[in-house]
């Protein structure tokens, strides 16, 4: 009888513990870009974080920008805890008070012992955000459809005579205006200086005018790959990791023109007013550690924001990482410049589209 009572006591204690855990268990929502990139985050960040902490991670997708985040904060109805944003939005959202402040001193050292401050690449940690990766905006084409006369430089994207056919392009001014100026002969180091003048903005739009009638607009990362696969476009601007994913996993025969690449860092932010701030901060700290960022390159070849992670990238993946290793022109977007000029150029871009 005593044995049975003891068993029942143990069972009751176990049930009580399970109930306590179920009550204490948290769920956070992490919003990102979906597709192959979102999948990589789920595998190397979301699942291991849940296994380590017990906190569940719900994944949501969006197409970028601050509009939805701003609406949630202003109404007090915050549904997203952590959001993956581009650097310009990280800076602007921080200035607007949309994000919680980040205590950089709490970020862990790299797995090689390097302090986080030295381990993260320059500019990859700011007052409200911690970077995870950088990706490249590039031009891509289908080798099978292009034949031997393949494009090799950014100017070829704008050459409708030599390379006839439609052009895929993301429906926004950033990246497009910079690439238009480079294709028009502006040196990478001078792009933002030129774009800071009314004449420079007009010059960029005039270059876009030369292919405007042939542009097929896209808004999500999956669309340019679909446009290439269907033959609807001869060339498209695209996130370079989408081409890697299509070639490696879907058996496509797409090629990247690295000349004219513009790299953009992605960062994690915690939305102001999140009801799960502590768990959200813990997620950001975990997700931007050495191992998750290195492991992510096995799914999609975006460059890790930590030096200690870069050191662990497999040799077969390194040729796909964006950056100076590729021949041709390229630079990292000036996020501060876009943070200051986004409203003006979004309006000009919308007006240009309507003409």
Contact 146, 317 (CB under 8 A): no
pLDDT tens digits for 166-220? 999 999 999 999 999 999 999 999 999 999 999 999 999 999 999 999 999 999 9
C-alpha–C-alpha distance, residues 291 and 84, integer Å: 18
pLDDT of 15: 46
Contact 86, 69 (CB under 8 A): no
* Domains defined for the chain, CATH in brackets: 2-134+266-318 (3.40.190.10), 136-263+331-354 (3.40.190.10)
C-alpha–C-alpha distance, residues 307 and 300, integer Å: 17
C-alpha–C-alpha distance, residues 92 and 95, integer Å: 5
- Centroid of chain to Cα 105: 24
pLDDT of 27: 98
- pLDDT above 90 (res 257): yes
Phi, psi of 199 (to 5 degrees): -65, -35
pLDDT of 295: 98
Cα dihedral sign for 282, 288, 294, 295?
positive
With cut-offs at 50, 70 and 90, classify the pLDDT of residue 1. very low
User: What is the average per-residue pLDDT within 123-142?
Assistant: 97
Whole-structure pTM value: 0.87
C-alpha–C-alpha distance, residues 192 and 333, integer Å: 9
């Amino acid at each position: 009888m005593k044995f049975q009572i003891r068993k029942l006591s143990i069972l009751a204690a176990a049930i009580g513990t399970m109930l306590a855990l179920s009550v204490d268990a948290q769920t956070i929502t992490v919003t990102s870009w979906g597709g192959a990139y979102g999948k990589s985050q789920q595998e190397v960040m979301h699942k291991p974080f849940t296994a380590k902490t017990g906190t569940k991670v719900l994944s949501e997708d969006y197409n970028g920008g601050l509009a939805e985040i701003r609406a949630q904060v202003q109404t007090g109805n915050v549904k997203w805890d952590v959001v993956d944003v581009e650097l310009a939005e990280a800076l602007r959202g921080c200035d607007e008070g949309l994000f919680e402040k980040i205590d950089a001193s709490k970020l862990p050292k790299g797995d090689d012992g390097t302090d986080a401050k030295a381990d993260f690449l320059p500019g990859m940690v700011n007052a409200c955000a911690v970077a995870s990766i950088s990706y490249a905006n590039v031009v891509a084409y289908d080798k099978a459809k292009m034949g031997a006369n393949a494009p090799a430089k950014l100017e070829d994207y704008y050459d409708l005579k030599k390379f006839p056919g439609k052009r895929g392009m993301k429906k926004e001014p950033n990246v497009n205006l910079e690439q238009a100026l480079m294709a028009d002969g502006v040196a990478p180091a001078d792009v933002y200086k030129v774009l800071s003048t009314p004449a420079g903005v007009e010059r960029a739009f005039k270059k876009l005018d030369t292919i405007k009638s042939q542009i097929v607009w896209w808004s999500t990362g999956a669309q340019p790959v679909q446009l290439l696969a269907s033959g609807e476009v001869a060339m498209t601007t695209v996130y370079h990791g989408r081409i890697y994913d299509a070639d490696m996993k879907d058996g496509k025969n797409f090629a990247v023109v690295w000349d004219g690449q513009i790299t953009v860092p992605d960062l994690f932010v915690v939305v102001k007013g999140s009801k799960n701030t502590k768990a959200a901060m813990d997620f950001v700290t975990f997700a931007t550690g050495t191992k998750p960022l290195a492991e992510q390159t096995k799914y999609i070849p975006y460059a890790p924001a930590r030096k200690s992670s870069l050191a662990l990238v497999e040799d077969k993946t390194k040729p796909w990482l964006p950056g100076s290793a590729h021949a041709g022109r390229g630079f990292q977007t000036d996020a501060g410049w876009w943070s200051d000029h986004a409203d003006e150029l979004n309006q000009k871009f919308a007006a240009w589209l309507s003409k």
